[in-house]
Amino acid sequence: MATAMSQLYTIEDCLLTQLDKISDIRGNLTYIEGKNRIPFDISRVYYIYDVPAGSQRAGHAHQSLFQLLIAVAGSFDVHLDDGLNKRSVTLNRPYEGLLITPMVWRIIDNFSSGAVCLALASAPYDESSYYRDYDQFKVVADKRRQSHPTNTVTN
Ligand code: T46
């Protein structure tokens, strides 16, 4: 069975997911239920806020962690890099979540004033699951791509 450690993830797997938005004259409500639109069990929730202008967060990848990031207030940019291709996504809607798969390097910047980044994660915090060195991440990502069955070359 494919596991997060053996699966080959790319930036194309980092999908924007629309969450339900319930609106009435009192305002809007968005809810998130485990496994409903989210392809993992939520094990941890954290949020990033009061980010000084010009600051950058993240700058790392995870071996097997899935996350969903939501701009519950304000906006910020998420730069994704799977070691081969890069893509940037602006998050600015509280009813939109960006899935980030394992083995995708992410940098978050351009935080607006008052921005809050809510993160839902598939596992508890574990520093040993981080790649915090880009060159090391790139070596592992390249190896995984080369050894993946979809990359088999037949002569
Ligand atoms: C990610 C981006 C979006 C904890 O103790 N528990 C936690 O759950 C987290 C996420 C962090 N920490 C500690 C570890 C560091 O001492 O908080 C400190 C700051 O963490 P870090 O530098 O990793 O924060 P960011 O904003 O650079 O990255 C975080 C997540 O680590 C990361 O997975 O994708 O937010």
Distance CA 45, CA 100 (A): 14
Ligand 1 in reach of 47 Cβ (< 6 A): no
Distance CA 104, CA 10 (A): 7
Taking residues 18-39, report their average pLDDT. Answer: 92
- Name the pLDDT band for 133 (thresholds 50, 70, 90): very high
Shortest-distance atom of ligand 1 to CA 127: 14
Domain count, the chain: 1
Measured in Å, residue 64 CA sits from the centre of ligand 1 at: 15
Nearest CA to ligand 1 atom 3: 58
Shortest-distance atom of ligand 1 to CA 125: 8
Looking at the domain assignment, is residue 58 inside a domain?
yes
**Is the confidence at residue 155, as pLDDT, over 70?**
no
Nearest to 99 by CA among 114, 85, 89: 89
Other CB atoms within 10 A of residue 84 CB = 11
Looking at the domain assignment, is residue 6 inside a domain?
no
Taking residues 49-66, report their average pLDDT. Answer: 97
Q: How many alpha carbons lie under 13 Å from residue 153 in its C-beta half-sphere? A: 3
Q: What pTM does this model have?
A: 0.94
Q: Which of 60, 62, 79, 148 is catalytic?
A: 60
Measured in Å, residue 26 CA sits from the centre of ligand 1 at: 34
Measured in Å, residue 4 CA sits from the centre of ligand 1 at: 20
User: How far is residue 80 from each of residues 77, 88, 99, 108, 113, measured CA to CA in Å?
Assistant: 10, 6, 11, 9, 22
Measured in Å, residue 27 CA sits from the centre of ligand 1 at: 31
**Is the confidence at residue 1, as pLDDT, over 80?**
no
Radius of gyration of the chain from Cα atoms?
17
Task: Select the more confidently predicted residue: 25 or 33.
Answer: 25
Looking at the domain assignment, is residue 68 inside a domain?
yes
What's 132's domain CATH number? Answer: 2.60.120.10
Q: Which domain holds residue 94?
A: 11-146
Looking at the domain assignment, is residue 138 inside a domain?
yes
What confidence score (pLDDT) does residue 154 get?
45
What confidence score (pLDDT) does residue 35 get?
75
Nearest CA to ligand 1 atom 22: 58
Looking at the domain assignment, is residue 101 inside a domain?
yes
Looking at the domain assignment, is residue 152 inside a domain?
no
